[in-house]
Chains A and B, each alone.
Chain A
Amino acid sequence: MDFLNALVALANFVFIPAIAYGSQLALGALGVTLIYGILRFSNFAHGDTMAIGTMFTILVTWGLQALGVSFGPLPTALLAIPFGIVLTSLLVLGTDRLVYRFYREQKAKPVILVIVSMGVMFIYNGLTRLIIGPGDQNFADGERFLISARDFKTMTGLDEGLALKSTQAITVVVAILVVALLFWFLNHTRTGKSMRAYSDNEDLALLSGINPERVVMVTWIIVAALAVVAGTLYGLDKSFKPFTYFQILLPIFASAIVGGLGSPLGAIAGGFIIAFSEVGITYAWKKVLTYMLPESLEPSGLVQLLSTDYKFAVSFVILIIVLLFRPTGLFKGKSV
């Protein structure tokens, strides 16, 4: 019984949150890694692209709610995501046309593009705050729980409850769908293949008649879609606040680099590695250990390795370890 209780506590406080968070990070990291692979720079504006995309989704959600549209037990925001994607795609394509394309034609050094993306970050950030404000926005509706802790307890008779928020389940399902769609696109469609070819070897791809502007355009649209989905899922699961979206940039970059920049598979693996380490290291293990260990060995403290405020330190340390020992990441990304 104690063993089962320990398992349930572990699932409730570590496993489920980490899977949901990992899916969100993986989607974000996929966006970063795609930009890196195709456009060859680290996009510092990605966090704020997520923020502004989520903002569009929230605005449409509010509009739909005002019209009385609902998605039954599911959050209305899911219906709003396609609108968010379209708006964000238009925004990033406009940005590319006005800002990035100039430097691409100049063949500017990647680091210049990074600085340019800093400027874009400022603008997106300012726009988000200007339109929706810097505060918390809650836009989740529909059922809150798939299984609530109390139901679980009465159902199984265990002491520990297992709560599964519907947003967590939605996050995982949507993430799997999106990733499957992305990989199918990259591996089985003509455009996807040309994207991969362009990422592997630009000159060779150009020689074989691939239109670079088209590849770039498709990349931006995919990145916008990924950013909106990742941002909306994160916002549904936690809450939407522009500044947290800026801060999430660090774990996202850490995920992309740990997996290997430019490698989509690596970005997903990296996202889960970062998420599980973050949650595992900042979780107070006392409860689980109390169930698992005999009474004489019961821990006196919280057995929390680091306080939750240091979650950024976790992604950072993993990042440093990978950089020191395997600079191209676990999945052999690019190293330009």
Chain B
Amino acid sequence: MRTLALFALVAALILGTGVLQSWNSALIILNMGLVSAIMALGVNLQWGLAGLFNVGVMGFVALGGLAVVLTSVTPVPEAWAAGGWRVLGAIAFALAAIAGAVFAWKTLPRKTRGWAVAAIAVVGFFLYRAILDPAVSAIESVDPAATGFLGGLGLPVLLAWPVGGLLAAGVAWVIGKTALGLRSDYLAIATLGIAEIIIALLKNEDWLTRGVKNVIGLPRPVPYEIDLQNDAGFVETAAGIGLDPTTASTIYVKLGYSVLFAVVLVVLLVLAQLALNSPWGRMMRAVRDNEEAAEAMGKDVTARHLQIFILGSALCGIAGAMMTTLDGQLTPSSYQPLRYTFLIWVMVIVGGSGNNLGAVLGGFLIWFLWVQVEPMGQWLMGVITAGMADGSALKAHLLGSVQHMRLLTMGVILLLVLRFAPRGLLPER
């Protein structure tokens, strides 16, 4: 009942935007709301179901974006010829060196193993750089204004979504292996760090992602507006329902995304619900509520944590790939931790941790607020400053800083929910 009412409220908010502002902005909110809901679902899996504290959501989202580039962009044959295979060789060498270091750590006697691992790491690093660097500069000098990177595989862009999930899962496995089983805050700080590093990689490894030059014009799973506007049949249908071709085409494209995203969300939500109510879900909650007891019952707590950490991160990766597809471009500098990590956390906490529907609700609601707080703040500041003299510095400053109201509002919402409704809008059953 409560669930229905709250979802109806969110629907009313989005429809209200459509009526009062424009259907285009309503659909923009809806589409990012769908993506945010999937991210929230991922975090809820980790936090709500297993009590894992992941503050590296941004990194996994960015990996999803990287997956779109790697899968769907057409390959750049000149760059591959210039040094593509050498880069792959360097990466293979690095992996071999790491494997060698792990092997040495496990087999050598205690006394010498530290030195051996350090030696392998240092020598390996320099050799890796020696192999990698010439290849990188060769690739980056291939027509740097247009390409200067290896490109992707040229596969359909929808394939990038599961690939994004896999990429995020792989990185999550590495982090989980090192940081799980330690104190909970350590995982938080480790994930915070890895997210920063992933963003640094995307910004600086031009041969992979073009760095801050951005990859634009990513392939789309829906038609282009301009093609629709030139399609006589489409223009006619649009005119039939009384819309001009431009508006009709933009709405059509956004609706296309909405349908695709909604399908993904529903599938993931059903899977998450099934998982929650399965014996596996009960076990996860048992582990969350009392690790010692679960361990005494013969459950491998660390392995279960690793499992769910990977699953949740994979969801964030899928959502990240979807978001980059929606944007049509990968802009590494647009990833901000407050927006992509901590805002998702607000969604989960406000929605109700442990409740999948709650996470989805939180995703929509908080995203709606995040977008709409700015016009509201503008209005509020307008009221506050109405009495002030025009041109006063304070008035200009207040009106100019409206955009920062968002962070403040989110913080206040988070604290209020934590204090007065710590289980969220839709509490766990």
A residues within 8 Å of B by Cβ?
41-42, 44, 99, 102, 110-112, 114-116, 118-127, 129-131, 133-134, 246-247, 249-250, 253-254, 257, 301, 305, 307, 309-310, 312-313, 315-316, 319-320, 323-324, 327, 335-336
Contact = CB atoms under 8 A, between A and B. Distances in A.
Contact of B411 (A121, A309, A316, A319): A121
A115 B193 contact: no
A145 B129 CA distance: 37
B418 A112 contact: yes
A297 B41 CA distance: 57
**Overall SS of chain B's interface:** helix
Interface in B376-429: 400-401, 404-412, 414-415, 418-419, 422
Contacts of A316: 190, 193-194, 196-197
Contact of A254 (B193, B345, B404): B193
Given A126-B405, A257-B189, 5 more contacts: A123-B411, A125-B338, A309-B200, A309-B204, A336-B183
Given A246-B337, A313-B197, A316-B194, A323 B415 contact: no
A125 B336 CA distance: 13
Contact of B419 (A102, A114, A120, A335): A102
16 contacts: A111-B184, A114-B188, A115-B418, A119-B414, A126-B409, A130-B405, A253-B189, A253-B192, A301-B133, A312-B193, A313-B196, A313-B200, A320-B190, A320-B193, A324-B178, A327-B183
Which of A119, A307, A324 lies at the interface centre, i.e. has the most chain B CB atoms within 10 A of its CB?
Answer: A119
Which of A99, A112, A309 lies at the interface centre, i.e. has the most chain B CB atoms within 10 A of its CB?
Answer: A309
B407 A129 contact: yes
B408 to A, nearest CB: 3
B203 A116 contact: no
A307 B204 contact: yes
A179 B39 CA distance: 43
Interface of B: 51, 53, 55, 125, 129, 133, 178-179, 182-186, 188-190, 192-194, 196-197, 200, 203-204, 337-338, 342, 345-346, 349, 400-401, 404-412, 414-415, 418-419, 422
Contacts of A133: 400-401
A110 B55 CA distance: 15
A125 B179 CA distance: 28
B407 A257 contact: no
Contacts of A129: 401, 404, 407
A178 B49 CA distance: 44
B411 A122 contact: yes
B401 A250 contact: no
A130 B408 CA distance: 9
Nearest to A319: B193
Contact of B51 (A111, A114, A134): A111
A119 B182 contact: no
B188 A250 contact: no
A249 B192 contact: yes
B410 A116 contact: no
A42 B183 CA distance: 11
Q: Which 7 A-B pairs have the closest CB atoms?
A: A122-B411, A126-B408, A126-B407, A123-B411, A316-B193, A129-B404, A119-B414
A122 B53 contact: no
Contacts of A119: 346, 411-412, 414-415, 418
